[in-house]
Amino acid sequence: MAYHRPVLLKECIEGLNITSEGTYLDLTFGGGGHSRKVLEKLGKKGRLVAFDQDPDAARNAIEDDRFLLIRANFRYMRNFLRYHGINTVDGILADLGISSYQIDQPERGFSFRTNSTLDMRMDPSSGRSAIEILNIYQESDLVRIFRDYGELNNPGRIARAIVRERGVQKISTSQQLEQVLGNLVPAQSRSKFLAQVYQAVRIEVNEEMESLGEMLLQTADYMKEGGRLVVITYHSLEDRLVKNYMRSGNLEGEIRKDFYGNTESMWKLVNRKIIVPTEEELRENSRSRSAKLRIAEKI
């Protein structure tokens, strides 16, 4: 199956600081590009456990005794690690957001570039689709989504236009949605505006921020001392959450100190400056353009 090349591959592998006999997690398996490179670094006793909620990812499963693919959202990491008897890991990798493969499948409804049914579920078998959210949510909830997840300047007008249209007919395709938005779509920045609208709906559909927060808070419970947490983000909302957690050990980014004035965090930053793709990678892989890599080590 044609997945695009993994983003920041060299930097992620270096960031994980892999030991040959260690146990590692790839929480966003996708096409398996990162996982295959991790396995190359592992010895016979090493182990890699991967997660992906998209059923299509299972077609890329790697035939290797050291590899296990779990078809589930990474927010359920604790449950599955407990089930498989894994108490500690040496490193965790997460490449967040949507994959190029998912964008390129019109029937999944992730892209505004082709007319398709508005689904947007990373796991098509569960949860509410974008159609349900756009046609059922209260106007106030739509405003919240476009304001908080799309960071759009006119969330109220967008929500009102949707509510007005769905009173006449159900909104179910990307073409319909763009027509509904009409003159709200700026001619000079159409793609950016629509990308923000789609991002907002997709995050709500997949409960992405809640899932990310739940996952991050579980990582310290399983990471060995000296183990690395390596995370690639693609937009400011998820990057802010990851930054807060790595710096403070909590999602709010609140620096808490003990009686002696020492910062109470179980992580130390490996890269204080965000790692971004090289010019060469940007030329070869356009998906990497907004990628930001953060690395923290368990202390």
Contacts of 18 (CB under 8 A, 6+ apart): 24, 38, 41, 42, 90, 91
Residue ranges of domains in the chain, CATH in brackets: 9-100+209-298 (3.40.50.150), 106-206 (1.10.150.170)
Task: Round to whole Å and give the CA distance between 271 and 199.
Answer: 28
Q: Helices then strands (H, E): number in the chain?
A: 12, 7
User: What are the tokens at 215?
Assistant: 């996952």
Per-residue pLDDT of the chain (299 residues; tens, 9 = 90+): 555 689 999 999 999 999 999 999 999 999 999 999 999 999 999 999 999 999 999 999 999 999 999 999 999 999 999 999 999 999 999 999 888 788 888 889 999 988 999 999 999 998 999 999 999 999 999 999 999 999 999 999 999 999 999 999 999 999 999 999 999 999 999 999 999 999 999 999 999 999 999 999 999 999 999 999 999 999 999 999 999 999 999 999 998 888 887 777 899 999 989 999 999 999 999 889 999 999 999 99
Burial of 32 (0-12, 13-18, 19+ CB in 10 A): buried
Dist. CA 199–CA 78, nearest whole Å: 27
pLDDT at 264: 76
List Cβ neighbours of 194 (8 Å cut-off, separation of 6 or more): 112, 178, 181, 185
- The H or E element containing residue 215 is helix 208-222
What residues does 223 pair with on adjacent strands? 89
Q: Is the dihedral of CA 125, 128, 130, 132 positive or negative?
A: positive
Question: Which pLDDT score is estimated for 262?
Answer: 78
How do strand 223-233 and strand 292-298 relate by DSSP bridges? antiparallel
Q: Helix, strand, or coil here: 51?
A: strand
Nearest to 8, CA basis, from 297, 294, 296, 291: 291
Q: Is the pTM of this model over 0.75?
A: yes
Position 4 scores a pLDDT of: 64
CB 49 within 8 A of CB 28: no
- Distance, CA of 118 to CA of 291 (rounded, Å): 25
Strand order across the beta sheet in which 47-51 lies: 67-70, 47-51, 23-26, 89-95, 223-233, 292-298, 267-269
CB 118 within 8 A of CB 177: yes
